[in-house]
Amino acid sequence: MHDDIDQIQRIFIKELELYFGSDEKRIRHAKKVLHYARELLSKEQADPYVVIPAAILHDVGIKAAEEKYHSSAGTYQEQEGPAIAGRILLDKDYDDENIYEICAIIAHHHTPGPQETINFKVLCDADWLVNLADEMDTTDIPALKIAIDKIFLTETGKKMAKEIFLP
């Protein structure tokens, strides 16, 4: 698949909508993460051909996790997500090397290691920009400052988080 990135985005959003069907909450979440990923991509030297499909498909494992384990726990999502995302990407003839990297990101996107690629960092930061308000009390400013410095992996992500969450 050699389409331009906007075309690729449209294709995989359509696939995401087909996959989640009436589960609009998941679709909305992915679109928000995609929005932040694109903003991060304008400042960080990451690969949009990896980051954009990863942002759209990063949580596809949640449906299988809920069906199989009646749980949306991160570990089940990480376990189930890569095979589903991989199938969607393969089906569209996406580049093998990119599929491999996207699936590797999805497989541990809640559990970053000490050495991650910039593509991973951008996806992770975009997800946290959406999730932070659900995960912690955003009125506790000192705790929030510490959390932002710890959680966000790129300078742009930290800056955006401060602009969004700090008064």
Residues at the interface with Fe ion (CB under 5 A): 59, 127
Sign for the pseudo-dihedral over CA of 15, 5, 91, 119: negative
Closest distance between Fe ion and the C-beta of residue 37, in Å?
A: 11
CA-closest candidate to residue 41, choices 54, 60, 59, 30 = 54
Minimum gap (Å) between residue 81 Cβ and Fe ion: 10
For Fe ion, give the closer residue by CB, 33 or 46: 33
With respect to Fe ion, which residue has the nearer C-beta, 77 or 156?
A: 77
Nearer to Fe ion (CB atom), residue 67 or residue 134: 134
DSSP state of 42: T
Between helices 118-135 and 24-41, what is the axis angle to 10°? 130
CB-hemisphere CA count at 13 Å for 24?
0
* Shortest reach from residue 54's CB to Fe ion, in Å: 11
Distance from chain centroid for Cα 133: 16
Kindly tell me which of 32 and 158 has the beta carbon lying closer to Fe ion.
32
* Nearest approach, Cβ of residue 156 and Fe ion (Å): 18
